[in-house]
A and B are shown apart, each in its own frame.
Chain A
Amino acid sequence: AQSVTQPDIHITVSEGASLELRCNYSYGATPYLFWYVQSPGQGLQLLLKYFSGDTLVQGIKGFEAEFKRSQSSFNLRKPSVHWSDAAEYFCAVFLLVGARQLTFGSGTQLTVLP
């Protein structure tokens, strides 16, 4: 079955430390990949997306993600986390075939320690 997996339910890092949030997908073809951030009680904001081309994509707020086809992964990274980055992060995939809808991972809650 097609799926998006975020293995880490909750991650805690200290402010200024680096961050990596994991995302794996299982689809026959390369999907279109997204990372969204959600603050409490808010909608989703797009951080970055990958459609094709350079496998390292830059997003807003200093985030980047790398698409690795061999590992079916699209991990989100940030070199130095700020307290304002504390939020829920969702990886999502979109397929051109079939239902053509976004499918979300289960999310990773990020806590930032002062």
Chain B
Amino acid sequence: GAVVSQHPSRVICKSGTSVKIECRSLDFQATTMFWYRQFPKQSLMLMATSNEGSKATYEQGVEKDKFLINHASLTLSTLTVTSAHPEDSSFYICSARESLALITEAFFGQGTRLTVV
């Protein structure tokens, strides 16, 4: 299957700083990428859908100014958690869907464990 690389896998940052998480599709072009947040022992909650070359679509309740998403190319989307606070600590996972595919599976990155201290 296709590979999605997410970096970093773990990050610890101080409260008030910003953290950038990268999501890359390594062997396919992804018009659409998705960002999820997962709390311990819970399911994945979709935060936003990232479309290459356009603004991301955020789910209800997700602060767009806190979670900045950029999808500048067909293989890279970034999530920046701005002015992070301890309550932003979570597991963030990206996924990518291959372009031009009407029905296709989504491939997932390995996730990023963010800890804000």
Binding site for B on A (CB under 8 A): 32, 34, 36, 41-46, 49, 51, 90, 94, 96, 99, 101-107, 109
Does B100 touch A at the CB level, under 8 Å? no
Q: Does B106 contact A (CB under 8 A)?
A: yes
Q: Number of A-B pairs whose CB atoms are under 8 Å? A: 48
> Do B46 and A101 have beta carbons less than 8 Å apart?
yes
**How distant is the Cα of A49 from the Cα of B33 in the complex, in angstroms?**
19
Contact across chains for B110 and A107 when beta carbons are under 8 A apart: no
User: Which of B13-21, B37-45, B61-69, B72-80 lines the interface with chain A?
Assistant: B37-45
- Tell me if A41 and B111 are in contact (CB < 8 A): yes
Known contacts A90-B43, A106-B42, A107-B43: A43-B93 contact under CB 8 Å: yes
B91, B106, B113, most chain A CB atoms within 10 A = B106
Which bracket fits the contact residues of B? 20 to 34
Q: In terms of DSSP, what is the predominant structure of the interface of chain A? A: strand
| Assembled-state Cα–Cα distance A94/B107 (Å) | 13
Nearest chain A CB to B57 CB, angstrom units:
9
B34 x A51 contact (CB < 8 A): no
B27 within 8 A of A: no
Distance (Å) between the CB of B47 and the closest chain A CB?
A: 11
Contact pick for A107, options B6, B42, B93, B107, CB 8 Å: B42
In the bound assembly, the distance between CA atoms of A88 and B46 in angstroms comes to 18
Query: B103 contacts A32, CB within 8 Å?
Result: yes
**Residues of chain B in range 61-117 having any CB-CB distance to chain A below 8 Å:** 91, 93, 95, 102-103, 105-111, 113
Query: Residues of A contacting B1 with CB < 8 Å?
Result: 46
